[in-house]
Amino acid sequence: MSRLNPGNVELARTIISRYPRPRSALIPLLHVAQEQEGWVSPEAMAHIAELVDLAPAEVLGTASFYGMFKREPVGRYVVSVCTNISCLLLGGEELLEHCERTLGIKPGATTSDGMFTLEDVECIAACTDAPCLQVNYRYFLRISHDEVDALVDDLRAGRRTDEVPPHGTLTRVRQDIRPERWVGRGAEGLPPEIR
């Protein structure tokens, strides 16, 4: 629960500079906030609002449109089990129930050690590999109940962290596009009155 840390403020300024208008950087900055805390806190949203010159309500409006920006604290690992049609036909419901038993929580809740948050989700576009789930949006396809248990044990024990980074991490290697490879002219390309 805090504002962006100094390193991320630097990063935020770089990201903002890539767009013609500061507000265009809003979604990337929400990712930065989520990466820092694992979720997007009101303080972070207010801070982003300052950085991109919007009202906090506008930041909240955008952030809340996307279910993947979490506005409540979540566990280190968010387990999203698909219960949409293909998965349902191939054991998605049972998979969810198994996860509930293994983690000891209902969808929407977080384990008391703060490690796992369970949620049921609509189709995650992997129907050909049903039933499936995601942990921090990394796919686990045609997953069996045993594999779920093993995965949970590994993550809890601090293994496989390279495969599944903590919630909020988009990528481990942040892509840095050097200015000479930028396209467009940034704010210069805009008529002055809307810069």
DSSP3 helix / strand / coil % (the chain, rounded to 5): 45, 10, 45
Q: Which of 27, 46, 109, 127 binds ligand FES (CB under 6 A)?
A: 127
Say which entry of another protein, ligand FES, none residue 86 contacts (CB below 5 to 8 A, set by partner kind): ligand FES
At its nearest, how many Å lie between another protein and the CB of residue 119?
A: 15
Kindly state the smallest distance separating residue 42's Cβ from another protein, in Å: 5
Helix spans in the chain (H): 6-17, 26-37, 42-52, 56-63, 85-89, 92-103, 145-156
**Residue 91 binds another protein, judged by CB under 8 A:** no
Q: Does residue 65 belong to the site contacting another protein (CB under 8 A)?
A: yes
| Token pair recorded at residue 194 | 């809307």
Those residues whose C-beta lies under 8 Å from the C-beta of residue 139, and which sit 6 or more positions away, are: 124, 126, 129, 132
193 binds, among another protein, ligand FES, none (CB under 5 to 8 A by kind): another protein
Note whether 167 and 118 are within 8 A (CB).
no
User: Is there binding between residue 132 and ligand FES (CB under 6 A)?
Assistant: yes
Query: Which does residue 65 touch among another protein, ligand FES, none (CB within 5 to 8 A, set by kind)?
Result: another protein
59 binds another protein (CB under 8 A): yes
169 binds ligand FES (CB under 6 A): no
What is the closest distance, in whole angstroms, from the C-beta atom of residue 96 to ligand FES in the complex?
A: 11
Question: Which residue in 123, 126, 121 sits closest to 143, CA to CA?
Answer: 126
156-159: long-range pairs with CB below 8 Å, 24+: 156/113, 156/115
Give the Å distances, CA to CA, from 114 to 53, 61, 145: 34, 27, 22
- Name the minimum Å distance from CB 60 to another protein: 5
Contact residue for another protein among 26, 32, 45, 79 (CB under 8 A): 45
DSSP letter at 110 equals: B
Q: Does 130 bind ligand FES (CB under 6 A)?
A: yes
Site residues for another protein per CB under 8 A: 42, 45-46, 54-61, 64-65, 193
